[in-house]
Amino acid sequence: MRPDTVAPEADRNPAPHDETVPHTHPEPGVDPHPPLAQAGRALRVGIGGPVGSGKTALVAALCRAFAGELRLGVVTNDIYTTEDADFLKRAGVLDPARIRAVETGCCPHTAIRDDIGANLDAVDELAEAVGPLDLVLIESGGDNLTATFSRGLVDRQIFVVDVAGGDKVPRKGGPGVTSADLLVINKTDLAPMVGADLAVMDRDARARRGDLPTVFLSIVGDPAAGRVADWIRHELAHHAALHPVAARGGPA
Amino acid sequence: MTTSSLLLLVADGRFPAGAHAHSGGLEAAVAAGRVTDLATLEAFLAGRLATAGLVGAAFAAAAHRAVTSGSAVRGSTLALLDAELDARTAAPALRTVSRRQGRALLRAGRAIWPEASFDDLPATPGGAHQPLVLGLLCAAAGLSRAETATVAVHGTVTGAASAAVRLLGLDPYRVQALLVGLAGRCDGIAAAAARAADDPPERPAAAAAPLADIHAEAHATWEVRLFAS
């Protein structure tokens, strides 16, 4: 059975472990993540998800959260020109020199997964323009549930879905929901209005994602996206512990 | 056999060099109402082949020649080629695009053929023009000069044709049939470009399309566009 066809009920009443199917378990005590960035370069975190799920608002919230704490840069990928970058610049949450826009020619998923050169250029240009960075957030263009980032572009990725997209989205799965390092279920303040059951979303997300973390978020109630920012801080600490050269901090 | 597979790999639209974000001027031509269907697309592609296609392929072939002929002055030859191609690219927006695409291709080339030397490319601000990088990359892949010109011409038409499928919703089979119909002309242009590489660097074709240059300048100022060029 494919992992994304497992019925959510299986999580509540786990079936006996089927030892006839060849499978492996993660080694206890071994970090299952791929290796982090080399010393001296910023941690790169991708933020993807469907159109309208709140990716740009999350990036703005994280800019607020890390202002004065980290040397931050942002790369946006738009389907149309530089709309998201312009929004962030207007929002005044980050120095415009720290924001770069990549144009994607109708193919937002290609620019973050199959052909990442323009995004890598943008990351390089940011470092050339404003100096060393601790963290670069790379926002994908709004796409669909299959859009994920190349590991050649980002070290960690966050997938953002929203409750108004329907509480069945986590059950539908797809690579973003199942494999992102952090799943953000956004706009929880809208749940009563759209009849979304957060308990169902939580249960389905756990069934899909195993031990990978999921965060419920309402930027209306938490304008600095506290739990997402804390997760990034944790990943940064991990990064810094492995690569002390990259650890020197300083205000953005 | 090895060379044939490498030719297909380098010419493939999925080769990660940023081509998907560019329409080769087609988006601007569509907006101007000059390309609306298969017939006007064919005319557009034929014009592109005779201008940007020929010039780009000639410079790719010349760059290939500069680094495969055993010349001791390949750095200065490439610098001269870069300046000559700049002079043949009237629209500043298209110069920027060509250098940007050159950077993307260079990133791919350095990552894929780490042992190949790309250091003879001129240290022009913004990077070397795309056809020069293509010439060196094809040389690194072991392709011949004629194959290098073919890759350059192929990219000139397939990128714009793919953009037409996305922008106009044209039937992809009919567009592919159109490209099949243009294949003979592509080969002819590539052969002419490969021959031109034997000329001195200032001699290759200077064919240009003023309307395409004007469209490119206007396109670069659009507030909303789907393609970077």
DSSP letter string over A1-43? --GGGS-THHHHSPPPP-TTS----PPTTS--SPP-PPTTS-E
pLDDT value at residue B130: 98
CB contact set of B38 (below 8 Å; sequence gap of 6+): B170, B174, B175, B178
- Contacts across the A-B interface (CB distance below 8 Å): 58
Report the complex ipTM. Answer: 0.80
CB contact set of A209 (below 8 Å; sequence gap of 6+): A177, A178, A183
pLDDT tens digits, B150-192:
999 999 999 999 999 999 999 999 999 999 999 999 999 999 9
Asked if pLDDT for residue B219 goes beyond 90, the answer is: yes
Q: Where in chain B are the domains? A: 37-219
Residues of B in contact with A143 (CB under 8 A): none
Query: What is the percent of chain A with per-residue pLDDT over 70, rounded to a whole number?
Result: 79
Judged by CB atoms closer than 8 Å, whether chains meet at A115 and B22 is answered as no
Determine which helix (DSSP H) or strand (DSSP E) holds B59, and give its type and residue range. Answer: helix B54-68
Extract the tokens encoding A13. 């009443």
How many angstroms separate the CA of residue A81 from the nearest CA in chain B? 5
How many angstroms separate the CA of residue B20 from the nearest CA in chain A? 6
CB contact set of B83 (below 8 Å; sequence gap of 6+): none
Of A102, A105, A111, the CB nearest to B226: A105
* Mean pLDDT confidence for B99-109: 96
Judged by CB atoms closer than 8 Å, whether chains meet at A110 and B20 is answered as yes
CATH class of B37-219: mainly alpha
Judged by CB atoms closer than 8 Å, whether chains meet at A80 and B225 is answered as yes
Report all structural domains of chain A as residue ranges with CATH numbers, in order of start: 44-241 (3.40.50.300)
Question: Please, what is the average pLDDT of chain B?
Answer: 94
pLDDT value at residue A166: 86
A86 → chain B, closest CA residue:
B223
Instruction: Write out residues in chain A with pLDDT < 50, as ranges.
Output: 1-14, 36-39, 246-252
Judged by CB atoms closer than 8 Å, whether chains meet at B16 and A114 is answered as yes
Residues of A in contact with B108 (CB under 8 A): 117
